[in-house]
Structure 1
Amino acid sequence: MSAMPGRPLRVFITGASSGIGAALARAYAARGATLGLVGRREQALHELAAELTSARPGRHRLYALDVLDHAALARAAHDFIDANGGIDVVIASAGISHGTLTERPEDLPLFESVFATNVTATIATFAPFIEAMKAGTGARRLVAIGSVAGVRGMKGAGAYCASKAAVHSYAESLRLEMNPHGIRVVTIAPGYIDTPMTRNNRFPMPFLMPAGRFAEQAVRAIGAGRSYRVIPWQMGVAAKLLRLLPNAVFDALFAHAPQKARKVAP
């Protein structure tokens, strides 16, 4: 995927202060893109921008905000569009994960928080860009970061698995809506990627991939306009096999699987 002649690719990324979002920012910056970087931690955003703009200070725009603040997110989107004359790629990368149990009443706010961040904020990220994208030309992408966790539910991860399954279905619906306008909706489903989020896991993580390598593969898939891509590919094969298993077999195989630790209330 390349920009129109004479201008860099314009890319807006949420969750950019760490993990997958930061890795994607580095990958696009290496390709000469102009970035809009959203994250809650202002200092981390400034450190990332300093790393990315050593040759061209001030090239990227930083938005220190919480994606749950939809009005602030919309203001950031319009500021980026106005500053750069349009938009090419929007990546909804902000996400959280907590171990949850339905029978524990104190976990209900965690369910709500995970859905608000992983699902509703994805919608709020895309919404203010769609009008500009429809008016634009060339390759335009709306990118949802899902997860292989959205393929089947796992013990103790009901909130995260269900939220990512919702992201996958939402992106599929949006893809049908955007196709007539030449806008590609891309779902990237990471497996286990080495980020601060996964470093909290206390169980084996097959095919664990460095964030930088993941980002390089994701950028290529986004550029190609792939509708759905699991990275790494080995997890894609595993996910397809899990989806094909009869429920009785799946239940037996994962009855004693380790589960993500619940968040301990302060």
Structure 2
Amino acid sequence: MPSFQCAVITGACGGLGQSLARQLLGSGAQVALVGLNHDTLKALQALAPERCRIYTPDVSNAQAIQAMAADCLKHWGAPDLVIANAGVAGGFETSDPADLAVMRRMLEINLLGVATTFQPFLQAMLDSQRPAALVGVASVAGWRGMPGNGAYCASKAGLIAYLQSLRAELRPSQLTVHTISPGYLRTALTAGNTFAMPGLLEPDEAARDLLRGVAQGREHIVLPRRIGWLSQALSLLPARWHDRILLGQPRKPRAHQAGATPIPGLSDTPLQRTL
């Protein structure tokens, strides 16, 4: 296990986030766990109560995240690892006005939430003058838009570009920026998918590969690597052929459809969803 001393993880309540938390706590690190399910976080905290702090802010709420970061910095000082892992997924239909609220919320969590997570730690990490890493969990879905998945793909494509910009800005420092592009992980976000998921990876394996890759200084990490090769091979096809292949696949369930995963902060009422 790579040696990190103090880590912050958002989206720690499930899937990849839980696996990262367990592995970092198991390695002896101090870990701040950020998620929305207090009971789940408490169960993780029980693994190492003296080295674990838990917080339940919404990652799109800058004021709440800044309060969380202030508490972490007060007790532990600057972390050497911040993993912005919180994210939501769901289908999107541009013709449905209610889905505009879905896109807005997805951008708030998947894109803005990463910058909101990094911001209050950044200066302290720079001031420490110690090697440290900022990790953003994007997706291979950010490499190319997919039918019926425009909101998610847009949020992850925007995140990839944001991480590129941040990486360039921080080149002179000891702070590194890492873009994680998972394919399909066996988590709640993929449980409702009815389409083929090549290279489906268990969260524990993905967490090990992620931490190892960050420790090795890899700036772009695809999980698993073979799904990246497949995506790149498909990208060599003419766009019309590529689109035709994707159009033949079942689509990601949209909010409030069977198999969809909940999107925190998205109202259940159609009227409010359009506001």
Identify whether the pair has TM-score above 0.5, normalized to the shorter chain: yes
Which residue number in structure 2 is paired with residue 257 of structure 1? 249
**Equivalent position to 1:49, from 31, 34, 45:** 45
**Equivalent position to 1:90, from 60, 79, 82:** 82
Aligned 1:12-161 pairs, distance under 5 A: 12-50=8-46, 52-53=47-48, 57-161=49-153
Indicate conservation of the 8 Å contact 1:142/1:186, yes or no: yes
CA distance in 2, matches of 1:164, 1:243: 17
CA distance in 2, matches of 1:260, 1:142: 29
**How many Å apart are 1:101 and its aligned residue?**
0.4
**How many Å apart are 1:94 and its aligned residue?**
0.3
4+ aligned runs moved over 4 Å, structure 1: none
CA distance in 2, matches of 1:77, 1:129: 7
Aligned residue for 2:178, secondary structure, equals strand
CA distance in 1, matches of 2:139, 2:247: 21
**Is residue 2:164 matched to residue 1:169?**
no
1:125-170 per-residue CA deviation (whole Å, 9 max, x = no partner) reads: 0011110111123321000000111111111110001111111111
1:196-221 per-residue CA deviation (whole Å, 9 max, x = no partner) reads: 11112122211111110110000001
When the two structures are aligned, how many residues end up with a matched partner? 257
TM-score (structure 1 length as normaliser): 0.93
Indicate conservation of the 8 Å contact 1:27/1:219, yes or no: no
**Is residue 2:217 matched to residue 1:225?**
yes
Amino acid at match of 1:173: S
TM-score (structure 2 length as normaliser): 0.90
Aligned 1:4-15 pairs, distance under 5 A: 9-15=5-11
After TM superposition, the structure 1 stretch with the greater mean CA deviation from structure 2, 134-143 or 9-18, is 134-143
Q: Percent identity?
A: 39
Indicate conservation of the 8 Å contact 1:13/1:35, yes or no: yes
CA distance in 2, matches of 1:103, 1:43: 38
1:56-105 per-residue CA deviation (whole Å, 9 max, x = no partner) reads: x3321110121122111111112112211221000000000111100111
Aligned residue for 1:198, secondary structure, equals coil
CA distance in 2, matches of 1:219, 1:157: 28
CA distance in 2, matches of 1:39, 1:86: 20
CA distance in 2, matches of 1:172, 1:24: 23
Indicate conservation of the 8 Å contact 2:11/2:17, yes or no: yes
**Is residue 2:200 matched to residue 1:199?**
no
Aligned residue for 2:50, secondary structure, equals coil
